Every structure is written in C-alpha cells, then in structure tokens.
Amino acid sequence: MTDSDDTSAALAGFDAASNRLIIDLGALADNWRTMDKLSGTARAAAILKANAYGIGIEPAAETLYAAGARDFFVANAEEGAELRPLVPDGRIYILAGMWPGNEHLFFDNGLVPIINSEEQLAFFMSALSERGDHPCVLHVDTGMNRLGLSMKEALMLANDPARPASFSPILVMSHLACADDQAHPLNRRQLESFRAVTAAFEGVESSLANSAGIHLGSEYHFDMTRPGIAVYGGEAVNGAPNMMKPVVTSEARILQIRDVRTGDTASYGASAQFARDSRVAIVAIGYADGYHRSVSGGGVALRQATPSGAYGFLHGHKVAHLGRVTMDLSLFDVTDLPVNAARPGDYIELFGENIAIDDVARAGGTIGYEMLTSLGQRYDRAYIEAE
C-alpha cells in the first residue's frame, strides 16, 4: 500500500468515526510561542506529562521542539524514556524524581531527576557514587505543601560546608499554589521565599512560574518558566479572557433523532423532563470517552449547585445537554434548530472552536486539565500540522 493509500484510508476512518478529535498543532506551537514571549528574558519550557495533556506525546513533542522548546518536563522516568528519541538534544526533567530501581532510565536516557526530598537526595548521591556525575534539579516547597524540600532543609543544604561537590544542581525550582488568583497573598509570600532560596544557591538557574505565574509579571519569571495548560489552549487565570488558541476540538456523531412529547421523560432516572414537544439528538459520546457524567444536563447531584449542564454546538447553534451522560451516549436538545437541520450522521462539537473546553469543565465542576487528560481511547484523531 502506498503512502497515498494510507492517507486515504486514515481519512476514511476519521470521516466514519463515532467520535473524533481534531488537534491543531499549529495552535499548539503558536500558544507556546506566546507564552515564551510573555516570559520576557526567561525561556519557556514545554510540559509534556500525561501524554502531552492527552493530545499525544509524539506529535506534541515534535511540534514544540520545532517551535523552539529545548527544556521539557514530564511526570516520571517512563514518560522521559518515551520522550527522549523525539527531542534528541532536549533536556528532559522528571518531576517525580529518581527512585531505587529506575535509576538506569535516567542514566541511559540522559534524564534529569528533580530532587523532591532528603530521601531522594540521599539515593541520588548514592547513584552518583556508582555511575558518576549527573545533573539534577532541586525542588523547594515555598508554600504549596506538596513536593519539595522544606525551606529549612534547602537553606541548610545550601550552607552545608560538607555538601558533596558532586551535588551541583543545574536548576532550583518551586511551584505556585494560587497563581490563577492573581490577588491571592500566597503568591507574594511564595515569591519572597523563593528569592531567599535562589540567593542561597547563587549562580544556579531558577524556575517558579507556571502558565498562570507568567501572568503575575516579570519578577516571577526568573530564568525559566513552565507553561502547561495555556499551551494546550486552556484558561490559566481565573476571571480573565483566555487569549490562547483552542488546540483540541472534540466531536461525536448523532446516531438518532427522536421526537418527544410534552410531559415525556428521557435518560436514566427520567432525568430529562420535557415541558414542550421536542427533538432530541442521541450522540455517541459518554463518560467512557472522558465526557464526564458530571456535565450532565440533569439527574446528577452537581446540578443542585450548577443549574445547567454542558452545551454542544451544531450547525451554528448551541444545544443543551439533556439528562445524564451515560457510558457511551449523551442526549442534546435540537428543538430550536431549523426542521431537518440536525440529522443522523452529523457531528456535534462537544468543545473546541465554538464551545470552550473550560466552559464544559465548569459545567461539570472540574477544570480543563481534567477534561483533556481524560480523553478516551475511542476517539479517532486527526492532526493539523504546524507550518
């Protein structure tokens, strides 16, 4: 079979898919360049953990590398080993650090462990005694109370005259807890604490800002920023317009159109109730595809806090979700579309160009990160290549 035949077959499969994703790699590259520019004199890294936020580590890595990224963060050493051949001269940082039994992945693939605790530091130094010098990053907790050495531990380490010469971190980092709320006082407290750490490790590069942190201003940028969700098109700052381009569009096929009468009900628990004669589109998308049950139009506890569920987009109109999201199917109200405008076989947009992923996430009481990283395996994927 020729390359042309392969492409034709792939397109035919995409056109026939029950649900599908359109992933705009050009938008991904543009978003990274935007965050890199906003980082000022700091350079922006690329975050590729969780299969590149669900869009696929290989196309995302190749795109961001071509856009200019040379620093890459992933969650664990297994992700790092998968990433290595895609960014041959890139520096790959492992957020979970090094543990007994996986040290060979770091040395064999040139991965940089992030030291998150005194225990990890002790093991890393032990590994160096057997393997020789290797770069590392020191992670200091400045107020999130998640991973990282405490401030006291970090400052003692910096001032320890017995500190081995072989321990020479190439980067000191911390992570902001509340940067999405620009007025939160913890942002300033973390900045002041991090400045104390960087002063103690004079001459070592430093990194503090995530996507939201970049928007806090240049004093938060240091030498490297670490934009994540913004690069993938999601909102970074609460209450602010999202300037990023949407990267992922999710679509699902309408399997059937049903006519229902006033007083009828639909879905589990009779959770959709009709006050007028209506037309309902039954759509091939469910929680098995990462379209969370909590975005349902009715019949779940969360609707007590959020009156309406998610919306889809079809033929220029927003259409409301009805009843409960089930494993494989969802219902949407297409009554207000012109007669015969919605037909079996049409695709409805679940999020993307017309329905912001964060709006869907809010309807389900969650965030865009979770929507992206929950994308199921049943989607057929098409990538729009970056120029």
Residues 155-203: tens digit of each pLDDT: 999 988 877 777 889 999 999 999 999 999 999 999 999 999 999 999 9
Query: pLDDT (tens digit, 9 = 90+) per residue, 361-380?
Result: 999 989 999 999 999 999 99
Could you give the 3-state DSSP secondary structure of residue 110?
A: coil
Report which residue type is found at 240.
A
The percentage of residues in the chain with a pLDDT greater than 70, rounded to a whole number, is 95
Strand partners, 314: 317
Query: pLDDT (tens digit, 9 = 90+) per residue, 319-366?
Result: 999 999 999 999 999 999 998 899 999 999 999 999 999 999 999 989
Find the range with the poorest average confidence among 239-248, 256-265, 283-292, 297-306: 297-306
- Across the range 36-52, mean pLDDT stands at 98
Separation between Cα atoms, residue 351 and residue 349, nearest integer Å = 6
Structural domains in the chain plus CATH codes: 40-225 (3.20.20.10), 248-384 (2.40.37.10)
Q: Are 28 and 53 in contact (CB under 8 A)?
A: no
Under the banding of pLDDT at 50, 70 and 90, the label for residue 1 is: very low
The single-letter DSSP state of residue 383 is E
Query: pLDDT (tens digit, 9 = 90+) per residue, 203-261?
Result: 999 999 999 999 999 999 999 999 999 999 999 999 999 999 999 999 999 999 999 99
Under the banding of pLDDT at 50, 70 and 90, the label for residue 10 is: low
Separation between Cα atoms, residue 151 and residue 162, nearest integer Å = 19
- The residues annotated with a catalytic role in the active site are 49, 268
Residue 215: exposed, middle, or buried by beta-carbon count in 10 A (0-12, 13-18, 19+)? Answer: buried
pLDDT(55) > 70: yes
Query: pLDDT (tens digit, 9 = 90+) per residue, 56-85?
Result: 999 999 999 999 999 999 999 999 999 999
Q: Are 111 and 118 in contact (CB under 8 A)?
A: no
Under the banding of pLDDT at 50, 70 and 90, the label for residue 303 is: very low
Q: What is the mean pLDDT of the chain?
A: 93
